[in-house]
Amino acid sequence: MINKITIETDIISLMEVLNQTGNSTVATQILNGTYEEPRFDRSDRASVPDKDGKVRQFFFVSYDKWKDEVHYNYTDSWVREMSREAWSKLELWSVHVRKVMAQEILNEMDDVVDTEHGF
């Protein structure tokens, strides 16, 4: 059980403090006990292809509730951030891997068919 505390201050001072947190809505919800961290998939994600067509695996590191940002990294990189919304729109890494594997199987089947027909 969380013990409640009483804060004795004027509303202007309280709002000034809340506004300095970077996200006064989250701060107010924390203070009144209603804050719930948003639910989103923290599984590894696939980056969009870069100019060379390479897709990187993004690893979830943490979530910043004050900025509504996901912190992530990938092999040999510093921790970076993006909005939770952008993170949620990226394809799951597991889905990306399955698509790549399926494409490789299709390519092998095309090669077999081409060889059998003398193409």
Reported as type and span, the H/E element at residue 81 is strand 80-83
CATH number at residue 108: 2.30.30
Residues comprising the chain, all counted: 119
Both 102 and 69 in one domain: the answer is yes
- Percent of the residues in the chain that have a pLDDT greater than 90, as a whole number: 46
Other beta carbons less than 10 A from residue 45's beta carbon: 27
- Angle of helix 24-32 relative to helix 11-19, nearest 10 degrees, comes to 120
**Rounded (5°) CA angle 110-115-119:** 90
Give the global pTM: 0.70
Both 68 and 109 in one domain: the answer is yes
Q: In which domain, by residue range, is 17 found?
A: 1-36
Both 46 and 17 in one domain: the answer is no
* pLDDT value, residue 116: 58
Both 69 and 90 in one domain: the answer is yes
| Three-class DSSP category at 107 | helix
Both 45 and 81 in one domain: the answer is yes
Both 51 and 108 in one domain: the answer is yes
Both 17 and 44 in one domain: the answer is no
Both 5 and 49 in one domain: the answer is no
Q: Are 89 and 68 in contact (CB under 8 A)?
A: no
Both 74 and 27 in one domain: the answer is no
Both 19 and 77 in one domain: the answer is no
The predicted-structure confidence for 19-74, as pLDDT tens digits, reads as follows 888 888 898 888 888 999 999 999 999 999 989 989 999 999 999 999 999 999 99
Both 68 and 51 in one domain: the answer is yes
Reported as type and span, the H/E element at residue 93 is helix 93-116
Any idea what DSSP says for residue 35?
-
Both 90 and 107 in one domain: the answer is yes
| Phi, psi at 100, each rounded to 5° | -65, -45
- Percent of the residues in the chain that have a pLDDT greater than 70, as a whole number: 90
- In the predicted model, is pLDDT for residue 11 greater than 70? yes
Indicate the number of domains in the chain.
Answer: 2
In the chain, the amino acid numbered 6 is T
What tokens appear for 33 in the block?
């006990």
Of 110 and 34, the structure prediction assigns the larger pLDDT to 34
Split at pLDDT 50, 70, 90, the class of 117 is low
